[in-house]
Amino acid sequence: QKEVEQDPGPLSVPEGAIVSLNCTYSNSAFQYFMWYRQYSRKGPELLMYTYSSGNKEDGRFTAQVDKSSKYISLFIRDSQPSDSATYLCAIPLGTNAGKSTFGDGTTLTVKP
Amino acid sequence: DTEVTQTPKHLVMGMTNKKSLKCEQHMGHRAMYWYKQKAKKPPELMFVYSYEKLSINESVPSRFSPECPNSSLLNLHLHALQPEDSALYLCASSLNTGQGNEKLFFGSGTQLSVL
């Protein structure tokens, strides 16, 4: 079993829609949960991270962790064409942030 | 300056060639990383340098040889590659705080094709 599984997509939504991107993980000891955005032909960029359970909001983006069900989500409100990208959930393994297990990514297209 | 700069952006090489990928950052980060990313797949960690010393090698074949000449530069030397090594090679850096939540800064990558 992979340590983190991501809903594969792809997703195509109209502009203004609410988008939900989801991952599940297997190890209850994981504490940090990251979301990266990767535009085509670019490297990933960290969007936001959460620690333990709960929600974290940053503008139109909300990251949510449910440790009881080992489920992490990223919500995008009022989606824009500029949000079209691949979104990767990632969980650091230990104390080295670079040694993370990544989901396979969900490609999102927001149509004007 | 919050950029990680990678050169070249694209590289085509034959299986007998020797080439090098370069990565540079001027953010004072003391951890630098090489990743390999195949199409529609997540990045896979190859190497980690911590304070200019190789700290993690994820069982990468010896045809890939990393080098960290100083705290700002990271190279990846390539020799006798195989067509299956064709991928996007990403460099990243971070402060090296020892915290799992520290931010990684990625470059735009080098798209490598091995013929």
Convert the pLDDT of each residue in A66-78 to its tens digit.
Answer: 999 999 999 999 9
Q: Is B107 on the interface with A (CB under 8 A)?
A: yes
Convert the pLDDT of each residue in A37-47 to its tens digit.
Answer: 999 989 999 99
pLDDT value, residue A53: 79
CA distances from B76 to A42, A86, A110, B45 (A): 19, 26, 36, 13
The region of weakest confidence among B4-13, B46-55, B100-109 is B100-109
Better-scored residue on pLDDT, A53 or A60: A60
Q: pLDDT-derived band of residue A112, with 50, 70 and 90 as boundaries?
A: very high
Q: Are A22 and A75 in contact (CB under 8 A)?
A: no
What's B4's DSSP letter?
E
| Count of C-beta atoms within a 10 Å radius of residue A6 | 22
pLDDT value, residue B1: 66
Q: Which residue of B has its CA nearest to A97?
A: B100
Chain B residues closer than 8 Å to A100 by CB:
45
Chain A nearest-CA distance from B32, in A, is 9
Convert the pLDDT of each residue in A14-27 to its tens digit.
Answer: 999 999 999 999 98
Q: Is A43 on the interface with B (CB under 8 A)?
A: yes
Whether residues A45 and B31 touch (CB distance < 8 A) is answered with no
Convert the pLDDT of each residue in B83-107 to its tens digit.
Answer: 999 999 999 999 888 777 788 999 9
Convert the pLDDT of each residue in A68-111 to its tens digit.
Answer: 999 999 999 999 999 999 999 999 887 777 888 999 999 999 99
Query: Coil, helix or strand for B47?
Result: strand
Q: Is B92 on the interface with A (CB under 8 A)?
A: yes
Chain B nearest-CA distance from A77, in A, is 24
pLDDT value, residue A107: 96
Q: Is B38 on the interface with A (CB under 8 A)?
A: no
